[in-house]
Amino acid sequence: MLSYRHGFHAGNHADVLKHMVLCLILRHLKAKGKPLSYIDTHSGAGAYSLQSAWSQQTSEYKNGVEKILNNRILMDAVPEYYRIIDTVNEGETSLKYYPGSPMFTAQILDESDNAHFMELHPTEYDNLKYNLHHYAYCHVHHRDAEEGLLALLPPAIRRGLIFIDPSYELENDYKNTVNMVKKAHLKFSQGIYAIWYPLLGKAGDRSYELVRNLTKLNIKRTIRAEFTVCAQDSIMGMHGSGMIICNAPYNLMDDLKKILPEITKSLALDETAKFKLEMLTADDC
Ligand SMILES: C[S@@+](CC[C@H](N)C(=O)[O-])C[C@H]1O[C@@H](n2cnc3c(N)ncnc32)[C@H](O)[C@@H]1O
């Protein structure tokens, strides 16, 4: 049973980190001027109205994207992120819409590339199909993440990004994510893998186990980029989130050094907010 709907959370602090990292990785891939493959295993609807009843109920974007809209340091470091937010809000006088990972990708890629998007929830799938219908290089699948990913690997274009953003609703999601990366890497060892994870209250937090098990896969240049907005037990739910990037592009670490301190400072809810940025595996492991 799928109950998670990203519309409640669109534009929150986790989306800011996740989508800036996505834009940076795609920038590195596009910089080579060669075609690339992209697979989004958990795509969501592709774009969200911040005026919807769901979004208004939680207002999570107010402690996320809304707080960094005029941040000059982040605008200079990740202009793509801002350009795409402007594009989905064209004609609006204030922030009304927030793009999901498929829309960021569709806007950065072009006809030379090949992108696949998996989404299992029927309504989210329909919305995604509608939101991407202008982009001929974007293929939307009503399909399970792992089944679809393994069926599509290795891609015809042997360079690219696998973007993994589960909702971690089920007990086994953490273990399944690691197994999925392990199996996918066996089929496509050159691929960049970017995996998002939440930082939850003490009782529910599984990030340590996830990061440890992903590191144990021993994929070269595995980076952890993580930040918190407040103390672990001062909030219900997520107090931060992180990304693991395996086979990370060479200069990604430098980009992350620019954005993580600024995201953390801008989105902090109390003085305990902090970030962690480290290379977990070597270049030659
Ligand atoms: C966190 S949301 C994705 C948000 C999106 N990546 C973004 O950044 O805009 C996770 C999505 O995964 C979908 N999902 C959950 N289990 C799935 C599965 N086994 N296969 C494919 N999609 C799944 C959910 O319906 C939900 O829309």
What is the per-residue pLDDT for 11? 97
* H-state helical runs in the chain: 13-31, 53-58, 65-68, 72-77, 79-88, 101-108, 122-131, 145-152, 173-187, 207-216, 252-267
Q: Which domains does the chain have, with CATH numbers?
A: 6-279 (3.40.50.150)
Q: Which tens digit of pLDDT belongs to each residue from 183-220?
A: 999 999 999 999 999 999 877 899 999 999 999 999 99
What is the per-residue pLDDT for 91? 97
Distances (CA, A) of 60 to 65, 199, 220: 9, 16, 35
Is 283 annotated in the active site? no
pLDDT score of 1 more than 70: no
Q: pLDDT higher for 277 or 7?
A: 277
Q: Which tens digit of pLDDT belongs to each residue from 214-265?
A: 999 999 999 999 999 999 988 888 999 999 999 999 999 999 999 999 999 9
Q: Which residues of 113-141 are buried (b: 16+ CB within 10 A; e: fewer)?
A: bbbbbbbbbeebbebbbebbeebebbebb
Mean pLDDT value across the chain: 96
What is the per-residue pLDDT for 203? 77
Of 167, 168, 173, 174, the one to substitute when testing ligand 1's pocket (max ligand atoms within 8 A of C-beta) is 167
What is the Å distance from ligand 1's center to 154 Cα?
Answer: 22
DSSP code at position 283? T
